[in-house]
Amino acid sequence: MSEETPGFEEKPEVPAEGTPEEPKAADSAEEAAPAGEAKSASDVGLLAQLDQARSALGERTADLQRLQAEYQNYRRRVDRDRVTVKEIAVAGLLSELLPTLDDVGRAREHGELVGGFKSVAESLETVVAKMGLQQFGKEGEPFDPTIHEALMHSYAPDVTETTCVAILQPGYRIGERTIRPARVAVAEPQPGSAKPEGSEESEGKGDE
């Protein structure tokens, strides 16, 4: 009879490491699919948020451009009004000085602009010129009712149109604004001095 060694029992064979783990590969594949779908859904959400941000940015940019345009228009309107107010104020001041300038002009014509009075008068004329005051009105220029005021009227054979033959008071303007029209004496062509066209030709035919 053979004797069995006490303490040693036969144990079932244990499979190699990793063999029981093989079913996990299928599980990981199953888990990978839902993760990919979740990632794709996240990208779609980010793209939607990006589109919304771009749309909001476009709206804000359009609002800013509109506000800038409105502000520029407001600045131009304010500047234009400021210039207009300044011109009106200057015109009002210079209008009060016109009688004095008329006196200076008459004194110069009569040779009375001498001494200290001459210096003061020339200084006054320099100041008003710097403020934009311009004198106008000359003898021989065509009469323009928008800038001339006719105080005397006559006929003259040597004019072909209504003409300013004497400047009684010069006119004054600031830029395009007329402060006072030039007061003038005008002359018109002598009645009957200009023959209508074709009159000589008709007279020649009558003589034949």
- Phi and psi dihedrals of 10, rounded to 5? -70, 130
Residue 148's DSSP bridge partners are 182
Q: Is the four-CA dihedral 143, 145, 151, 152 of positive or negative sign? A: positive
Per-residue pLDDT at 202: 47
Stretch 7-35: mean pLDDT, rounded? 51
pLDDT tens readout for residues 101-135: 999 999 998 999 888 899 999 999 999 999 999 99
**How much is the mean pLDDT over the chain?**
80
Q: How far apart are CA 119 and CA 125, in angstroms?
A: 10
Residue 138, pLDDT above cutoff 90 = yes
Q: Which of 6-10, 87-91, 186-190, 201-205 has the highest mean pLDDT?
A: 186-190
- Phi and psi dihedrals of 120, rounded to 5? -65, -45
**Confidence class of residue 167 from pLDDT cuts 50, 70 and 90?**
very high
pLDDT tens readout for residues 89-101: 888 999 999 999 9
The better pLDDT of the pair 38, 58 is held by 58
Per-residue pLDDT at 118: 93
Per-residue pLDDT at 31: 54
Please, is 162 exposed, middle or buried when counting C-beta atoms within 10 Å of its C-beta (0-12, 13-18, 19+)? middle
Per-residue pLDDT at 185: 96
pLDDT tens readout for residues 144-159: 999 999 999 999 988 9
The DSSP secondary-structure symbol of 195 reads P
Stretch 192-201: mean pLDDT, rounded? 53
Query: SS3 for 5?
Result: coil
Per-residue pLDDT at 38: 59
What six digits make up the tokens of 122? Answer: 């020339």
Region of residue 137 (phi > 0: left; psi between -120 and 50: alpha; otherwise: beta): left
Per-residue pLDDT at 77: 92
Predicted model pTM? 0.57
What six digits make up the tokens of 107? Answer: 């004194």
Per-residue pLDDT at 1: 46
Per-residue pLDDT at 125: 94
Q: How far apart are CA 168 and CA 37, in angstroms?
A: 99
